[in-house]
Amino acid sequence: MSIVSPKFGRSLSVSLLAIATSIASLSATQLAAEDTMVVAAPFGPKSSIPDPRARQNGWLSNRAGVSETLIGLGYDMSMQPRLAVSYENLSPTEWQLTLRDGVTFHDGTPVTAQSVKDSFAKLDIEGHAAHNPRLSKLLGIAHIQTPDDKTLIFHTKEPNSAFLWSLTEPSAAVMKEGTDALPLIGTGPFVFVKAEAEKSYEVKGFADYWGGAPKLDKLKIDAITDPSVAALALQAGDVDLVTNYPEPDFAKLKESGEGQLFAGATTRLFFFQPNMTDGPLANPALREAVSLGLDRETIVAAALVGVGGSPANALFPANMASWANADLSLPYDPPKAADILDEAGIVDTDGNGIRELHGKDVVLKLRSYEGRAALRPTLEISQVLLQQIGLGAEIAMGEFGANNDALKAGEIDLHLQAWGSAPQGDPDYFPSTLVATGASYNVSGYSNPELDALLEKGRSLFTTEERQPIYAEVQEIINRDLPVIPVFHKTQVSVGNGKVEGYQIHPAETYFASPELAIAK
């Protein structure tokens, strides 16, 4: 229908039609935008084609919905079917898994037992984009049998009760070799589109996903390492959700009853890793004094404003009820710290307020990295607390990998980090990765045959009841020797623009982009 003016005749009809067409076009654009979600996250991809099986790429890929593992973790941290619908232990070194029917890769080809076997084989190929010696060591696969298209039998080199749990790690992704058109070919609800190193990661919906087509057409994850900048981006409407919102700002929103707020306890542990090879913290009395000098309650209250976590008494938080050792504690006791230092001869002889070791002032070099809002204030508060027991402290922010290199080289004394203590839901991951002799992230130089033997025994036992006393003792040894010094367990706080639907914080923080994730129309 058109409206014709006696004066303007057909020209008005054409003009109105053009306006109507523009409005229709604008509406379509708006509708498309409503099916796109932009998320601010603290970390971005490490390369333009980050293979999920290598380094820590799998965490981002898994959260973005591109890659999937054979087994998943539920929101209660229990093992759940994912690409495999069943799994069983045939013997101490044999594990049988049955694949789900109707699963296809993003290029439309079916997922078979052989394709899964081929994907895992890439972990051990040096030079391949999927090479991952750390995960390969955790899995300990000797060989894989494929009796038929749906069945895999994994043979491990030795008994490994954590094997199935290790298959839940995002790096254990099932992938097909990429092409120019599809550089990363996974099985998840979203298809990889592009990535810009340290900046962004973009995906689009996969209509043929086995779990149902996702509600979002597109998802973009922007890496904004400064949480306050991410908060400003949300206020400006540049992003729809900030996954790691600054705790002080979250507390204000909560108090005022404003904002779309999300909060969930996680298994993430903030901890110091000391240099135990040389330098002052090779002295066990000094490590014990450092731990006793940390007022964890004050750190949580100040750095997290009471909304972001709880003081740590050991490696595992209370939400890991099967594994947390409730008998342990990490008290704040400055007088005891002073006594221990005095007995060890670490005293202030020149009256400058700093204790001395071997005739030199003890000035500890503490370092952390950007990306998690609580790291910097925790470092700053720790500096003050250590000074109160007569230990000098210099603090600086750096890059995670560079900090680890500096710790290993003895250039710094303490590296403040934030790790998921059980991203696989199993208690073996964290100690076997960080404190076992020769472990991939054991940059502190710690080595304890007693602990190594316990970890080996824990992997050889196959029931929770048998393993609980083993990992309780592991936690006792860690609290005694302090190769890591736990500070607090993290609660993740996120804020949306009021339109975010289907979002839930997972305790392991490894899941995000589900088919249910959506932006309200």
Would you say 41 and 222 are in contact if contact means Cβ atoms under 8 Å apart? yes
Q: Which helix (H) or strand (E) holds 427?
A: none
**Domains (range + CATH), the chain:** 57-240+497-519 (3.40.190.10), 264-492 (3.10.105.10)
**Per residue in 48-83, is it b (16+ CB within 10 Å) or e — as a string?**
eebbbbbbbbbbbbbbbbbbbbbbbbeeebebeebb
Would you say 398 and 415 are in contact if contact means Cβ atoms under 8 Å apart? no
What CA–CA distance (Å, rounded) separates 434 from 369? Answer: 18
**What pLDDT score does 425 carry?**
87
What CA–CA distance (Å, rounded) separates 89 from 100? Answer: 18
**What pLDDT score does 320 carry?**
87
Residues with Cβ within 8 Å of 162's Cβ and at least 6 positions away in sequence, in order, are 138, 424, 426, 428, 429, 432, 458, 459
Per DSSP, which regions of 11-93 are E strands? 36-41, 71-73, 79-81, 84-91
Would you say 45 and 247 are in contact if contact means Cβ atoms under 8 Å apart? no
3-state secondary structure of 181: coil
Residue by residue, pLDDT tens for the chain (521 residues) are 333 333 333 333 333 334 333 433 433 344 344 599 999 999 999 999 999 999 889 999 999 999 999 999 999 888 999 999 999 999 999 999 999 999 999 999 999 999 999 999 999 999 999 999 999 999 999 999 999 999 999 999 999 999 999 999 999 999 999 999 999 999 999 999 999 999 999 999 999 999 999 999 999 999 999 989 999 999 999 999 999 999 999 999 999 999 999 999 999 999 999 999 999 999 999 999 999 999 999 999 999 998 989 999 999 998 888 899 999 999 999 999 999 999 999 999 999 999 999 999 999 999 999 988 899 999 999 999 999 999 999 999 999 999 999 999 999 999 999 999 988 889 999 999 999 999 989 999 999 999 999 999 999 998 999 999 999 999 999 999 999 999 999 999 999 999 999 999 999 999 999 999 999 98
**What pLDDT score does 159 carry?**
93
Burial of 521 (0-12, 13-18, 19+ CB in 10 A): exposed
User: How distant, in Å, are the alpha carbons of 250, 423, 507 from that of 373?
Assistant: 12, 20, 18
What CA–CA distance (Å, rounded) separates 96 from 183? Answer: 30
Burial of 351 (0-12, 13-18, 19+ CB in 10 A): exposed
Burial of 449 (0-12, 13-18, 19+ CB in 10 A): exposed
Residue found by looking up tokens 């984009």 in the block? 129
Residue found by looking up tokens 């494929």 in the block? 146
Would you say 297 and 358 are in contact if contact means Cβ atoms under 8 Å apart? no
What CA–CA distance (Å, rounded) separates 254 from 292? Answer: 33
